Amino acid sequence: MPPRARFRRRLALAALGLAIAPVLVVGWLLIGVNQDALEDTDRDLLFAVIGDVSRTLDGTLDEGAGALATVAQLTGDASLTPPARVAAARALVGASPALTAVRIFDHAGVPIDTIRDAGDHTPLPDALGPELRANAAPAMGGIVLTPAGPAMAMVAPIHLSDDTWYAYAPVSLAPLGDRVARIADETFAGDRESIYVIDRQFRIVAHPDPERAMAMATTARTELLAGLERAPGGEQYLVFRGFDGPDGAMIGAVRSLPRAPLAVVAQLPRARAFASIGRMRWVVAIVVAAAALLAALLALVLASRVSAPVRRLVAYAGALAQRNWNARADVHTGDELEMLGDAMQGAAAELAASEAQLRDEAAIRNDLGRYLPEQLVERVVKREQSLRLGGERRQITVLFADVASFTALTEKHPPEVVVTILNQLFTILTEIVFRHGGTVDKFIGDCVMAFWNAPDDQPDHAARAVAAAIDMLRWLEVGNDAWQAAHGVTIHLAIGVNTGEAVVGNFGSEARMEYTVIGDAVNIAARLESLARPQQILIAQPVVEALGDRVDTLPLGPQRLPGRLEPMPLWEVIA
């Protein structure tokens, strides 16, 4: 895309952002307010219909409980003769729509008599459990299925002069089903899944579809009903939330009834509940699109006026990218763009000068980096390091790592293979030394010498050196796999580490010098390396004292070092 087109596009995007952002914010806020209001309205609606169903259920249960209590009172009325009691109870059962059958049980729950309406075939229990007899005041025994549909089992006590009997009756929930069906038609436009009543086993006991209530089908355990199952018995559960239903996103409310082991569920598809939100989004989208079109037109007009000097600046920047420092910016607009062109020309001059300086410093660093540690290279480049002969006494830690059985290696393989292996080995060993902050002093044939705590101070120089030695042996486990596969060679290192005073500095002549360390501490480290077995790290007592308990070591006792009269206590590092 040409620079002008890119600049024009950016201006258009900026104008679009400035024009669209306020519209989007206002639209978003309006949608949020409307959605909150709709959610409050839907919540109030669902709770209202739940309350309506709850009142219908309370009325049905009250009517059944009252009729059953009257039957129990008549049955236990000592002022009436037994035939008169039975006749009065039978008349009451026939007259009450809530009762179609009543069974009388004695104090042990054994049936004594049954009072039925003509043509009634409602199944009645053959025994009355102790829990219902203990709580009959009256008590509700759960939902039972009768030929007329689900019913609430109720028990009322019959108080006799010397005993207590019980009247049992299933109170029909048909009025509840009728009310649920009317609410579904009138309030929810015939949605058959909008409201229903379930028991504690999640069985449907009242539904706009009578067949589902007659079958007492088990409803799906949606997220809306999950808390109902965990709600403590006897406590009211009331919740309103959104959830995923079998047919998509829903909102719903559920309330457990304190008087009966039932719960009323009311729910709506979310798309239907928030239909007006979708229409409002369309309105906001149309307004945003109109604002975007107008902003884009204005941006194109503005871009055409300012793109010409921008193209010249882009061309000038391209020349600078090619390091054409003699190019000039041809911008004379008298505004900030001209100031930018002048600034770029000034920067080009500075870049030309700094590039020359960088070339000089890079050449110096490249040359010195072949002979000196990185820290010294930086000091030499910055003219902070003295190049005079001499040194300073410092406490250092020295490491010698030598290839064991190197003579056998050179005898069995061509020199080119040996050189390749040594270069690969020294490359990795050097990287390990650098990783632990050390300085590679020199390579002596098949041996590498490194030291720590110079030129910069390193309080933990002994620990760094031993850690580097351990890493060297660990790395060989990987390196040997490659060398064995490529050349049939396995490399082992013998490593010696010692801590002590030495002179660190520039040694040699005015014409040729090197930065190194000299002292007895260096000689001891070299003797330790010559005494070490393959894959063994030997350290002297000063190193052990500096390490403390940070590394596991094995004491080897006093050992005589080559070229020294007195034995020295040595330790092996357990890597």
Q: Which residue has the higher pLDDT, 434 or 312?
A: 434
Which residues is 496 bridged to in the sheet? 400, 538
Q: Is the pLDDT of residue 249 over 70?
A: yes
Please give the full DSSP string across 240-288, using - where no structure is assigned: EEEEEETTEEEEEEEEE-SSSSEEEEEEEEHHHHTHHHHHHHHHHHHHH
pLDDT in the model for residue 322? 74
Say which DSSP state 203 is in. Answer: B
Least confidently predicted of 172-176, 182-186, 368-372: 368-372
Answer yes or no: is pLDDT of 385 > 80. no
CA distance linking residue 65 with residue 61, whole number of Å: 6
pLDDT in the model for residue 541: 95
Residue 51 has pLDDT above 60, yes or no: yes
Q: What are phi and psi of 124, to 5 degrees?
A: -120, 150
Range ranked top by mean pLDDT from 149-163, 165-179, 391-405? 391-405
Structure confidence at residue 327 as a pLDDT band (50, 70, 90): confident
**Domains delineated in the chain:** 3-168 (3.30.450), 175-270 (3.30.450.20), 386-573 (3.30.70.1230)
What local confidence, expressed as pLDDT, does residue 465 receive? 96
- Give the list of residues 6+ apart from residue 473 with CB closer than 8 angstroms, or none: 493, 495, 535, 537, 575
Rounded to an integer, the average pLDDT of 264-285 is 77
With contact defined as beta carbons under 8 Å apart, do 250 and 269 qualify? yes
Most confident by average pLDDT, 38-42, 90-94, 123-127, 461-465 = 461-465
pLDDT digits (tens, 9 = 90+) for 160-173: 888 888 889 888 88
Q: What was the pLDDT predicted at 362?
A: 67
Q: Please, which pLDDT band fits residue 129 given cuts at 50, 70 and 90?
A: confident
> What digits encode the pLDDT tens for the residues 192-204?
888 999 888 889 9
Please compute the mean of the pLDDT values over residues 498-521 and round it to a whole number.
87
State yes or no: pLDDT of 190 exceeds 90. no
CA–CA dist 400, 440 (Å, integer): 10
Q: Dump the DSSP string for 45-107.
A: HHHHHHHHHHHHHHHHHHHHHHHHHHHHHHHT-TTS-HHHHHHHHHHHHHH-TT-SEEEEE-T
Q: Which of 199-203, 273-277, 290-294 has the highest mean pLDDT?
A: 199-203
Q: What is the DSSP letter of 488?
A: S
Write down the pLDDT at residue 27.
Answer: 65
Q: What is the band of 559 on the pLDDT scale with cuts at 50, 70, 90?
A: very high
Least confident stretch, 65-69, 302-306, 524-528: 302-306
Q: Which two tokens stand for residue 45?
A: 């609606």
Residue 519: its pLDDT value, please? 93
- Specify the pLDDT at position 101: 85
Beta carbons within 10 angstroms of residue 471's beta carbon: 18
Using alpha carbons, list the distances in angstroms from residue 433 to 171, 427, 471.
91, 10, 9
pLDDT at 231: 65
Output 466 or 142, whichever has higher pLDDT.
466
* Local confidence band at 306 (pLDDT 50, 70, 90 cut-offs): low
Average pLDDT, the chain: 82
The two tokens of residue 266 are 């009311």
Q: Determine the pLDDT at residue 474.
A: 93
Residue 547 has a pLDDT of: 92
Banded model confidence at residue 383, pLDDT cuts 50, 70, 90: low
Average pLDDT estimate for 236-253: 84
What does the pLDDT read at residue 92? Answer: 76
